[in-house]
Amino acid sequence: MLIELSGVSKTYNQGRANEVRALSGIDLGVEQGSMVCLKGPSGSGKSTLLAIIGCIFPPTSGRAAIAGRQLARLPDRFLTLHRRETIGFIFQRFNILPELTVLENITLPLLPLGVAPKERRQRAQELLERFGISHRAQFPAGQISGGELQRVAIARALINNQPIILADEPTAHLDTNLSREFMEIMQQLKEAGKTVVIASHDPLVFAHPAIDRTVTIQDGRIHVP
């Protein structure tokens, strides 16, 4: 298993008056090269689960092993280093910095890795060509279309060749055509051996044929129908 969660819980503001239990007793395993959808309404805990899988923070309790590393034992700095090597993120609304060019946005994850400018450009150019947006490389990201923006976000998630791709509500602000196009790209990534986890309550996502498994989250627990 590339992703292995066992009895994972997450409580925000633990011990304080505003304590919130976001996840409770989550058991989840995701095999390498598979595509899983985390489904559930807003506030169900999907994003928190995605953040734990994405090594943004460790669980409050339980075991979470991502690409062979136990998160609970990793200090914050090593979580970041593990995240760099392992996880590619695609955000809701894509979270592209609109003032930066397309090329600059895609190469952002490479800057703290000490990758030289020439190599950065070369890697980004390959992805831009793969997604058919190489002509937009020097455009400010704020001036490109929604479809192009989506491909820029995917290219950014792949720039460091991470084995796991996480997408948080990626189609929430896309029309049907762009949502379909997004899922086609995800399918290609899966076929290329990437492990894909998507948090979404969009039927176009969780009902997509490429999805191997849909996990329903409700009130911080995995819902078994």
Rule CB under 8 A: which residues touch other proteins? 47-48, 50-51, 54, 56-57, 77, 80-81, 83-84, 89, 91-93, 95, 97, 99-100, 104, 108-117, 156, 160, 168-169, 172
35-39: strand order across its sheet: 87-90, 164-168, 195-199, 35-39, 213-218, 221-222
Q: Which helix (H) or strand (E) holds 33?
A: none
Q: Which residue's CB is nearer to other proteins, number 83 or number 208?
A: 83
Cβ count within 10 A of residue 171: 23
Minimal distance, residue 197 CB to other proteins, in Å: 13
Minimal distance, residue 122 CB to other proteins, in Å: 15
Minimal distance, residue 209 CB to other proteins, in Å: 27
Q: Which residue's CB is nearer to other proteins, number 172 or number 204?
A: 172
DSSP per position, 116-175? -HHHHHHHHHHHHHHTT-GGGTTSBGGGS-HHHHHHHHHHHHHTT--SEEEEESTTTT--
Q: Which residue's CB is nearer to other proteins, number 19 or number 31?
A: 19
Q: Which residue's CB is nearer to other proteins, number 114 or number 225?
A: 114
- How big is the CA angle at 109 (ends 5 and 116), to the nearest 5 degrees? 140
Minimal distance, residue 99 CB to other proteins, in Å: 4
Q: Which residue's CB is nearer to other proteins, number 76 or number 191?
A: 76
